[in-house]
Amino acid sequence: MPTLKDYNNKLVSLRNTRKMTKTMQMVSATKFQRAQAAQARVRPYANALNSMLHRVTAAAAGEVHLPLCKVRSPAYKALIIVISSDRGLCGSFNHGLHRLVAQWLLEREDRYTDIDLVCCSRKAAAFFRGRQTIRQSRDGITASPTMAAAAEIGDEAMKLFSEGSYDEVYLAYNEFINAVSRTPQVELLLPASKTEAGKMELTPENVMQGPRPELIFEPRAPELLCTLIPQSIRFRIFSALLESAAGEHGARMSAMDNATKNSDRLLDTYTLLRNRVRQAGITRELAEIVTGAEALKG
Q: What's the chain look like in SS3? A: CCCHHHHHHHHHHHHHHHHHHHHHHHHHHHHHHHHHHHHHHHHHHHHHHHHHHHHHHHHCCCCCCCHHHCCCCCCCEEEEEECCCCCCCCCCHHHHHHHHHHHHHHHCCCCCCEEEEEECCHHHHHHHCCCCEEEEECCCCCCCCCHHHHHHHHHHHHHHHHHCCCCEEEEEEEEEEECCEEEEEEEEEECHHHCCCCCCCCCCCCCCCCCCCCCCCCCCHHHHHHHHHHHHHHHHHHHHHHHHHHHHHHHHHHHHHHHHHHHHHHHHHHHHHHHHHHHHHHHHHHHHHHHHHHHHHC
At residue 62, the pLDDT reads: 59
Q: How confident is the model at residue 61 (pLDDT cuts 50, 70, 90)?
A: low
At residue 298, the pLDDT reads: 66
Q: Dihedrals φ, ψ of 276, to 5°?
A: -65, -45
Residue 285 lies in a domain: no
Residue 13 lies in a domain: no
Residue 274 lies in a domain: no
Q: Who has greater pLDDT, 119 or 286?
A: 119
Residue 60 lies in a domain: yes
Mean pLDDT computed over 38-48: 83
At residue 297, the pLDDT reads: 81
Residue 295 lies in a domain: no
Measured CA to CA, the distance from residue 27 to residue 32 in angstroms comes to 9
What average pLDDT does the structure give for the chain?
84
- Domain of residue 149 covers 27-253
Q: How many domains does the chain have?
A: 1
pTM of the full structure: 0.82
* Half-sphere exposure of residue 143: CA atoms within 13 angstroms, side-chain side: 13
At residue 151, the pLDDT reads: 92
Q: Per mean pLDDT, which range of 208-212, 232-236, 273-277 is the poorest? A: 208-212
Residue 104 lies in a domain: yes
Residue 77 lies in a domain: yes
For position 152, which CATH number holds? 3.40.1380.10
Q: How confident is the model at residue 60 (pLDDT cuts 50, 70, 90)?
A: low
Mean pLDDT computed over 93-108: 92
Q: Per mean pLDDT, which range of 8-12, 65-69, 154-158 is the poorest? A: 65-69
Q: How confident is the model at residue 205 (pLDDT cuts 50, 70, 90)?
A: very low
Measured CA to CA, the distance from residue 47 to residue 118 in angstroms comes to 27
Residue 101 lies in a domain: yes
